[in-house]
Chains A and B, each alone.
Chain A
Amino acid sequence: MDIFHDNPMLTGVRQMLGAFATQYIRKVAPLHDREESMPWALMKQAQSFGMSQTAVVDGRKALTGKDDADDGAGKPSTQGRLGVVGSEELAYGCAGICLAIGGSGLAASPVARMGTEEQKQEFRRLLQGDDEHGHLKVAAMALSEPSTGSDISSLSTTARLDGDHYVLSGHKQWITNGQSAAVYVVWAQTDPAAGRAGVRGFLVARGTPGLVPGRKEHKLGIRASETAQVHFEDCRVHKDLMLGVGAESKGLADTKKMLDSTRPMVGAQAVGIARAAFEYLVERVAGGTHHGTPLATHQRIAFELAEMEMEIQAARALVHKAAWMADHRQDNVRMASIAKAYGAKVAQAVTSRALTLLGDEALEPDHPVEKWYRDAKIYDIFEGTGQIQRRIIARSLLGVNPT
């Protein structure tokens, strides 16, 4: 255990989720990757471990038996570190399944931060019970648009006030749980003249007229997590379902803040993928031979492992530091970007080099390292691309936005 984890609660969560990853997630990961299907059964099982779809709104009591409030005023939180420890373990099992289990959390996060008690209740109500397929209900965060990837300030989905309702129009792209969600948190422009400050989130229930779940994407990786387009065609939403009413909302800045808070967890997932590939390789090298000589005796192979171990340890330390800073209520924007960007870089580098070292055996279908190689790439793209992270880091160093 490292300096951030001399904490029995974190150790317990790591052990529990690590066992869940090894015993359950790994067993079904190839199937869901091949079929591009959501791991519904496993998601229910995860719920029994406290990883419910409303966990972010409910706080962490279900998982740890303690609430944030129990830490006491002025005491550091453990939420950030809990997030990175859990994320690494689940993604060590399968990043796609990790995102399927945690996908609703993306939508729950703004509700938890900005929602009124009534809105939180409504969010919970909409996620109660099973859907018509017997699946648990999931939520979707709908922010990105076809023309709005990295540049989230150019949102074109509009919310026009009409009596007691807002009328939503626009298209959303790359939406996790976009096809299956029971509730969507949709970001739209309420006041084009206000620019970024006019952006608001809305709770929209499945079945609301004008909410049209779109086509599911066929992806390179994280295929157990559903990604789809979502369309809003004059979709009427009651104004009480708008998040962050009045001065409480800073518009788009709220979503950016949310992304800052999830970045260490995203970096931790990348570390989980890298570790998975690395451990697989260590095992193969320990038991493998090259024309009769043990692979472990060759520097060409063994030093690669040493290199990977250095990179993974460094990436994890960065992720933990970013989470530790958040838990101690320090400004961690730069460190969160560093952790996320470096985690993505390491995950890509380790999986790619592991494949090369494994050679033709890793050309077998369903080879886990090949899957992890495909899964790793998204970590340099979503939640702010590697370029966006470097822009944030550079701006924090130099005070200007490099172009």
Chain B
Amino acid sequence: MDFALDDDQALIVQTVRRFVDKDLRGWAGDADRAGAAPVRLTTVAGELGFFTDAVPEAAGGLLDGPYPHLTRALRGLELGRGCSAMAALLECNVEPALAVARWGSAVAQAALFASLVDGGRATTGRDARGRLALTAAGDGVRVTGTVGPLPALAHASHVLLCAHQGGAPVVLLVPTALGTVTARAPSAWRAAAWGTLALADAEIPGDHVVARGADGADATAAVLAWHRTSLAARATGVAIAAIEHARHYGTERVQFGRPIGQFEALIGLADDADTASAAARLMTLHAAWLLDRAHDGPSWAAAADAASRARVVAADAVGRATVDAVQIFGGYGFVNDYPVEKLMRDARPYAQLVGDERFDRILAEVAPTGA
């Protein structure tokens, strides 16, 4: 048992933290108000190795060997401290690249990797309630319905879609050109280039069906586990940022003759948020550690389970921490001049994307064969 970071991990944490403190936090407010990330995000983050870190070296990317999920989680914690919207853009390519590399056809790999290496984006969605209609179309799948809203979808060339066909899980690589992309501007992660993809009898060719049958269940579980761990890491980072801001404000703001951070009730709010984010951090890193060690069978199931629980705890933690940070800021917390108003809006997608894990686990116990 060792909780220490190795040299590579420490270096990455240090580098990303410097990027977050120097750039991301400075850009976050303006990007939020403008509803778009600054153009230089792509350049700066590209130089740091984002966007193609999960694309195999042979295809022009940076990945040499197994993908390091623990390092990604450590990076996600730092990015969450910076800006949820830009963090989502920096992380969105990972799941599509990993899934397509592991299960995709040569054709799907060529198409996706060419796009990502060329500066393109991809994103990941899950039809959590089973609202899309999927039917067989020869070797491929015909899809009708609306995917999203998802972050990065407005700029994405592909969506990695987890859905069901005839009750069985499938993972598809959907070129966005097959449907109609509409940019969306919700009040969370405003700079994250949200979009929906409307598909009307869109035919996904057989070589873009990334996984089906037994592979379909495995690939769905893997994609969700990677994605949930990444969401949990970023959510925890946002929670940590909210508490940092609130504690700092508590030392400055004086009411009733003393800094408000000296009142027991407000110390209690920040302290509970610390406890929750510490728990979320450990569960997230544990899930990522398991993902790095997971092979087939029980070790894989344990990693997926840990990821599912980490997301629940982290999403709860960030919800509470940001709401309570606004509370500690009082009237100033409610206005956009201070950072916690944005954090409270940004907390929501961490609890709402890719479905409800509690429900998933309950249903899995009710009907163990279901996905």
Contacts and interface: CB of A to CB of B under 8 A. Distances in A.
Interface in A278-331: 288-292, 298, 300-301
Given A149-B330, A220-B334, A386-B327, A359 B352 contact: yes
Interface stretch (A4-12, A269-277, A363-371): A363-371
A381 interface: yes
B335 A364 contact: no
Given A220-B326, A373-B348, A387-B265, A147 B254 contact: yes
Contacts of B266: 387
A358 B336 contact: no
Contacts of A363: 149, 186, 188, 194, 348-349, 352-353
A221 interface: yes
Contacts of A358: 352
Contacts of B40: none
Contacts, number: 132
> Which size bracket describes the interface of A in this complex?
35 or more
Contacts of B369: none
Given A367-B186, A370-B186, A373-B348, A381 B330 contact: yes
Interface string B142-166: 0000001110000000000000100
B348 A221 contact: no
B176 to A, nearest CB: 17
A355 B254 CA distance: 35
A392 B184 CA distance: 44
Interface majority SS (helix, strand, loop, mixed), chain A: mixed
Contacts of B8: none
B110 interface: no
A218 interface: yes
Given A217-B335, A291-B164, A386-B327, A300 B349 contact: no
Contact of A362 (B130, B150, B263, B352): B352
B255 A150 contact: yes
Given A374-B345, A386-B327, A387-B266, A355 B336 contact: no
A154 B187 CA distance: 36
A291 B354 CA distance: 14
A81 B358 CA distance: 41
A357 interface: yes
Interface string B9-51: 0000000000000000000000000000000000000000000
Interface in B50-98: none
Contact of B334 (A151, A219, A300, A359): A219
A173 interface: yes
B319 interface: yes
B352 A218 contact: no
A395 to B, nearest CB: 13
Given A365-B184, A373-B348, A377-B326, A360 B148 contact: yes
A9 B147 CA distance: 49
Contacts of A44: none
B94 to A, nearest CB: 19
B56 to A, nearest CB: 30
Contact of A381 (B149, B150, B187, B333): B333
Given A288-B129, A292-B130, A382-B331, A356 B263 contact: no
B271 to A, nearest CB: 15
A219 B345 CA distance: 11
B264 interface: yes
A356 B334 CA distance: 22
B355 A359 contact: yes
14 contacts: A154-B256, A219-B335, A220-B333, A220-B336, A356-B351, A359-B355, A360-B150, A363-B348, A363-B352, A370-B348, A377-B334, A380-B327, A381-B326, A385-B330
Q: What are the nearest 7 A-B pairs in CB distance?
A: A291-B130, A218-B336, A151-B255, A217-B335, A174-B331, A356-B351, A220-B341
Given A373-B348, A386-B327, 16 more contacts: A149-B331, A154-B255, A217-B337, A219-B334, A219-B336, A220-B334, A291-B164, A291-B370, A292-B130, A360-B355, A367-B186, A374-B345, A377-B323, A387-B266, A403-B256, A403-B263
Interface of B: 128-130, 148-150, 164, 167, 184-188, 194, 254-256, 263-266, 315, 319, 323, 326-327, 330-337, 341, 344-345, 348-349, 351-356, 358-359, 362-363, 370
